[in-house]
Structure formats: C-alpha cells, structure tokens
Chain A
Amino acid sequence: MTDEYGNIWTYRLKWAYTLLVVVTLMMPVFYVMFVSFNKNGQGAAEYVFTLEWYGAIFSDKLLIGALWDTCILAIIATIIVVPFGLLSAKFYKRARYKVMTVSLLLSPLFVPSDILGSALLVFFKNLNKSFEALSDWLGNEWFYGWFDLGYTTAIIGLVIYILPYVFVVILITMGRYREQQTEAARACGAGAWQAFWHVEFPQIRAGIFSSCAFALILSFNEYTRTSLLKGGYDTFTTVLISQFLNEGMSEQSYALSSAVSFIAIAVIGAIIVFTLIRSEKLERVARAKTQPVMST
C-alpha cells in the first residue's frame, strides 16, 4: 500500500473493483472456452467434456481459410503500419505545431467505423475508375483493378484504422528516450540510420514490439471496415459473426476461438512474466554492483 495514511479497506475495495472489472472482461472468453469442451455444444442441457472439437478444427475448410486470410492481413498490415507509426512519432517529436499534428494523426479515431468503411468503399470505387481511365488513355490495361475490393483495400482500411493506436503506443515509449543520445551518436560519426539502429531502437524496442502485438490484435478484431472492403473472401471475424447471426457458431468455431484466445493470453502472459522476472534480476544485480555515489 503506497499511501501510509490511507484506509486499508479503501485499498482493498479498489483492488476488489479492479479484479471485478477484469473478471467481467474475461468472462465471455472463459465461457467460450467452457463451451468448446462440451461434446453437446452451446446451450445443451448436459455437459460432456470432450477434446474432439479441437481435433475437428482443421476439417472446417471455411474457418481455416478465413483464419489464414486473417493472419495474412494482420501480418501485412502490421509490417506496413508499425514503420508508419514510428515515423509519425518521430515527426511529431520534431513538429512545431504539435496539436495540429496529433489531431491529424488521430483523426481516424473520430470517424465511426461504418462511416469510414463506407467512405473508403466509395473512394476505392472512384479511384479504380480513375486508374482504369488512365489505362485506357495509355492504351493498355496496366492500371486495371488495382483497387478492386480484396486484400489491398482491406489492408489500406486496416492501416488507417490501426495507425493512430500504433502512433500513440510508440510515442509513449519514445517519451523516455533522450534525443541527446542520438546527437551523441551523430557526434561520434554515426549517420542518421546508424544512430537510430544502434542507439534509439534498442531503447524503444519494447514499445515497437508492443505496437506490433497491438496491431496484430486490432487486425484480428476488426469487422466493420474489413467486411466492407475485403471483397469475396472471409476473415475469421466475419465468419464468426455471420455464423452467429445465421445458424449459430459451430463447435469448431468455439474450439478455434478458444485456441486463439488461449494462445494470445499465454503469449502475452509469458512476455509479462518474463519481463518482470528479468527486471527483478537486473535490479538485484544493479543493487549488488552499485557503489555509493561520491566525488571522484
């Protein structure tokens, strides 16, 4: 307890409230996991434990294909959006008009997802027509179909959606980095890229990896824009939602959803535990080595 004069019961109440919020947020995930082990499926009177639905995941070609497409979209969107977010954060730190810069970079957050998706849909249709007109003028088909609904348009929609989040995560991490270190590297003869790679990147690496994880999760989660811009294939989210709205989620869907959730929680949990253990170990080593500070 950090406030030594505070009431112990207030402290306990705050912790209890926090746990209640976490349990509320995680309850649907645990419920899905619970259902995924039931031989009789969701809503059945009798619960019979089974692992067969996990084995049956790969027999659902539609679901596996959708998961595969979702993973491809997520990875490509992450590869594009994280460098964009990093460059945006570096630009913001040097920008003269910071309020205007941050407003522009966060502006996609202020547009509802269905409106942004619809606007992009219309935009891509018109862009396609313009490119086709250019092709016709050049007398070839080079620019035909560049912005047909599909991977390209879905990825662009994901990048626009995810960029503000990645920008904020990286900017927060860069808050602890001192620009003087980049200048010191330049004074030692390093070029701009060398100074970034050798000096800045190792110190903001954690934020960049966090933003990668965030971008992957947001891509996985995205429905509205992607459903409008994806074209003829399915993503994991669109399959789950269409199943849910029509015939109900299949048992394989429950199993695969649980597996994906479990893997995500396990990976992030492992990273957190590893980081805590490592940081505790480094603190112990530093305490053992550090001499009392005195004049030299």
Chain B
Amino acid sequence: MIPPKVPAVEVQGLSKSYGSVQALNGVDVSIGEGEYFVLLGPSGGGKTTLLRVIGGFVRPSAGKVLLHGHDVSALPPDKRPTTMVFQSYALFPHMSVARNVGYGLRIKKLASRDIAERVDAMLKLVGLAGYGERKPHELSGGQQQRVQLARSLVLDRDILLLDEPLAALDANLRRDMCFELKRLQETIGITFVHVTHNQEEAMTVADRIAIIADGKLVEAGTAREIYERPVKRFTADFVGENNIFDGTLAAVDKSKATIDLGFERVDVPVDGSAASEGAPASFSVRSELVELLPAEGALPNEIQALNGTYDEAVYLGLTISHMVTLPNGAAVNARSISGAAENLKFERGQPVRVGWAMTAARLHAS
C-alpha cells in the first residue's frame, strides 16, 4: 500500500486577529509538493496575512502551520524551510546583485568559491548573467524581482512564498514575468505559494487557486474549475465576468432548480446542492456565454432568455461588452468577439433578449 503523500504546506484552523479585526478566521488549506498554488482575493481579504503566517513573519492567534508534516507554528522565519519574494523594496541597496543573491549562502557559511559558483549559476537561470556587480538601484523593476527570485532559489529550500511579486510591474512586464515564474517553477520543481489580487496572473501560473476573502477560504480548485464552475456566489462575482442573478427558489428537483427573479422564472441545473423551496438563491452565467437575441421570435432549443432593453456596446479590443438592462433594473453583460456580425445588430433603447443555454448557468451556495 502506498502511504499518502504529506502535503508540503498545511494550515489547520488558522486564525489571526489584530484587536477587534479578524484578519483570518479558521482557515484550512493543504498544498501539495511541487504545486504552484495561488492565493487569490480582494485587497484586505487576508491572503497576505495567511502567506506571512506560513512564512513565520506573523504569529497566528489560533491554529497550526505544518510544513512537510512538521508543526512549525512556533518557529521564526529563519528556522523554516521556506523563503520569500516580496512585492518591492526588499533588495539590500548597499549590496551588489551578487552579494544580494549570495547573502543566504554567506549566512550558511559556505566557502566563497561555492557561493560564487552558485550565484553565477542562479543569475544565469533568471536571465541576469553578468549583472553581478550592479547595484539594485541600477536595475529595472523586472530585473529587481529576478534578483529576488535568484536570492530565494539559491538557498535550495523547497517552499517559495511570493507576496504579490508582480504588483509593481507594468502590464506587459507582468505578463512576461508570469510565464517566467511558471517556467522556473516547472524547471526547479519546488512548491510555490503565490499571493495576488490579479486574476489573469493567477490563472496563468496556478496549478490550483484558493479564493481568500474576509479572512476565510471561500473556495479552492484548478483555474478551470474556479472559472468555469464556481461553487460560491463570491467566486462567481470575483473571478471572470459573470452575470449574477438573485432570486428565490421556486421549485427544485433532482436535475434542475427554478429561480424566481420577480419578473421571470429561470431553470438552472442542480449538482446535488441542498436547497429548500422559498430560500434565497442565486445563479451566474459567464458573460461570454450570454448571447443577444431579437425581442420576438422563437428561441433556439435549450436556450433560456430574459427580456431587456439594450443600453450600449463597450469596445474592449478583443471583445465587445453589450450592456442590457432587465425589467428589475439589473444590468446584464453579454460579451462577443470584436468583428462578429451580430455586434452591429442593436441600438440603444431597443428591446432585446439575453439568452443562454441552461447548462451554462451555475447555481450557487452563499
């Protein structure tokens, strides 16, 4: 019998409060070895606090942190098998790039020649060969983050924590660095725990994503699961561009639930979630799965539709967002690829229907 693998990082019942503010509230997370795990969520939600608890920079109010199965809750950062990349300002300005990268090796009292060899190899890996004698202020933002990466990876620890490492970079550089981080992680094979509030960044690099908000773990899954099949309403609202519809549960059976929106009833597939009739309920449909239909005429098979009034089209480059107002005042966003013929069909104020396949809708637990 193969023994179960010990997670690289596990937090159990983790809580952290600052006076009356509850930054983390009973969080349980398990991260496998060699996984690229992303903590995604809105600002102030507790994801950085969670990362810093794992790293030993913050002592939890309750709960445990286990690294490779060992309880490290009482250990300071220098005694844990973790290392960290910070958002910015974390390079040592009075040291050259080579001395920055080799700092941890000097602490370990390695021989100078070994340090020099390992520093050179690591600078080459991050694409900064020959930059050893420069000072941090002589580097661009992207280069500084690479030096931070090199300084962390040279230590041969197997858990790397990244606290919004790309937040200070411009959009193009951030995109390039995402691919760079993913390549490095796959090359080296260690566990990365990455905090970000940027969804594109999360979905580019992550093997799995955990949504953290209001100090709690909302939901965890692969990028595809989080994006295409969000379980919680918060996840649907936060990730991607979903249209959220709130109503009450009018009827439910084994395969579908009927949601009463007040002005219309809509059927939504049920995946076994427990719900009782009359309870508040919500469902979501991704904006790219919503299509615009003429106000009159037969609906295609399996398509459900709501009547509304066309507002405007917003050009976003690759896509166009069509905004429609429903009778209850709620707005619906239907996205289509720019250049598609149906983009030109409707005018402001024109009656229109927004429709989607029933299977495109997701019923949500709160």
* A-B complex is real: yes
- Chain A residues packing against B (C-beta within 8 Å): 178, 180-181, 183-192, 194, 198-199, 202-203, 286, 289-291, 293-296
- In the bound assembly, the distance between CA atoms of A185 and B170 in angstroms comes to 27
In the bound complex, residues from chain A placing their C-beta under 8 Å from that of B140 are 293-296
- In the bound assembly, the distance between CA atoms of A65 and B6 in angstroms comes to 73
Tell me if B92 and A186 are in contact (CB < 8 A).
no
- Say yes or no for B253: interface residue by CB 8 A criterion: no
Cross-interface CB contact of B176 among A183, A199, A296, cutoff 8 Å: A296
Tell me if A189 and B127 are in contact (CB < 8 A).
no
Sample of 7 A–B contacts (CB below 8 Å): A180-B86, A184-B92, A184-B151, A185-B92, A186-B76, A186-B78, A296-B142
Tell me if A194 and B107 are in contact (CB < 8 A).
yes
In the bound complex, residues from chain B placing their C-beta under 8 Å from that of A188 are 78, 83, 103-104, 107, 151-152, 155
A286 → chain B closest CB, angstroms: 7
- Say yes or no for B143: interface residue by CB 8 A criterion: yes
Tell me if B90 and A190 are in contact (CB < 8 A).
no
In the bound complex, residues from chain B placing their C-beta under 8 Å from that of A294 are 140
In the bound complex, residues from chain A placing their C-beta under 8 Å from that of B55 are 187
Given A189-B107, A203-B93, CB of A183 within 8 Å of CB of B170? no
Cross-interface CB contact of B103 among A185, A202, A291, A293, cutoff 8 Å: A185
- In the bound assembly, the distance between CA atoms of A286 and B76 in angstroms comes to 37
Which bracket fits the contact residues of B? 35 or more
- Nearest B residue to A194 by beta-carbon distance? B107
- In the bound assembly, the distance between CA atoms of A203 and B82 in angstroms comes to 26
- In the bound assembly, the distance between CA atoms of A184 and B127 in angstroms comes to 21
Tell me if B78 and A191 are in contact (CB < 8 A).
yes
Cross-interface CB contact of A289 among B84, B138, B148, cutoff 8 Å: B138
Cross-interface CB contact of A186 among B77, B87, B94, B134, cutoff 8 Å: B77
Q: Which of B128-184 contact A (CB under 8 A)?
A: 134-135, 137-138, 140-143, 146, 148, 151-152, 155, 161, 170, 172-173, 176
- Say yes or no for B315: interface residue by CB 8 A criterion: no
Tell me if B137 and A286 are in contact (CB < 8 A).
yes
B168 → chain A closest CB, angstroms: 12
Tell me if A296 and B86 are in contact (CB < 8 A).
no
A134 → chain B closest CB, angstroms: 40
- In the bound assembly, the distance between CA atoms of A29 and B84 in angstroms comes to 55
Given A184-B84, A202-B94, CB of A190 within 8 Å of CB of B107? yes
| Residue among A181, A194, A203 facing the most chain B CB atoms (10 A cut-off) | A181
B354 → chain A closest CB, angstroms: 40
- Say yes or no for B108: interface residue by CB 8 A criterion: yes
B213 → chain A closest CB, angstroms: 25
- In the bound assembly, the distance between CA atoms of A184 and B135 in angstroms comes to 17
Interface string of B53-79 (1 = CB under 8 A from A): 001110000000000000000001110
Tell me if B90 and A184 are in contact (CB < 8 A).
yes
- Nearest A residue to B154 by beta-carbon distance? A188
Of all A-B residue pairs in the complex, the 7 with the closest CB atoms, nearest first, are A188-B104, A187-B84, A184-B90, A186-B77, A296-B142, A178-B89, A180-B90
- Chain B residues packing against A (C-beta within 8 Å): 55-57, 76-78, 82-84, 86-94, 103-104, 107-108, 127, 134-135, 137-138, 140-143, 146, 148, 151-152, 155, 161, 170, 172-173, 176
Given A178-B90, A183-B57, A187-B55, CB of A296 within 8 Å of CB of B78? no
In the bound complex, residues from chain A placing their C-beta under 8 Å from that of B56 are 186
In the bound complex, residues from chain B placing their C-beta under 8 Å from that of A203 are 93-94
Tell me if A187 and B103 are in contact (CB < 8 A).
no
Tell me if A187 and B82 are in contact (CB < 8 A).
yes
In the bound complex, residues from chain B placing their C-beta under 8 Å from that of A198 are 92, 103
A129 → chain B closest CB, angstroms: 44
Tell me if B89 and A295 are in contact (CB < 8 A).
no
Tell me if B107 and A183 are in contact (CB < 8 A).
no
Given A187-B55, A189-B155, CB of A296 within 8 Å of CB of B143? yes
Cross-interface CB contact of A190 among B78, B82, B91, B173, cutoff 8 Å: B78
A293 → chain B closest CB, angstroms: 5
- In the bound assembly, the distance between CA atoms of A296 and B173 in angstroms comes to 7
Cross-interface CB contact of B152 among A187, A191, A194, cutoff 8 Å: A187
- In the bound assembly, the distance between CA atoms of A77 and B55 in angstroms comes to 40
Given A286-B137, A286-B138, A296-B142, CB of A189 within 8 Å of CB of B90? no
Tell me if B92 and A183 are in contact (CB < 8 A).
no
- In the bound assembly, the distance between CA atoms of A192 and B57 in angstroms comes to 12
B75 → chain A closest CB, angstroms: 11
Tell me if B142 and A183 are in contact (CB < 8 A).
no
- In the bound assembly, the distance between CA atoms of A60 and B155 in angstroms comes to 64
Tell me if B172 and A295 are in contact (CB < 8 A).
yes
- In the bound assembly, the distance between CA atoms of A239 and B285 in angstroms comes to 89
In the bound complex, residues from chain B placing their C-beta under 8 Å from that of A192 are 76
- In the bound assembly, the distance between CA atoms of A20 and B172 in angstroms comes to 56
Given pairs A188-B104, A295-B170, 19 additional interface contacts (CB within 8 A): A178-B89, A180-B87, A180-B89, A181-B91, A183-B86, A184-B91, A185-B92, A187-B83, A187-B161, A189-B107, A189-B155, A191-B78, A202-B94, A203-B93, A296-B127, A296-B140, A296-B142, A296-B146, A296-B173
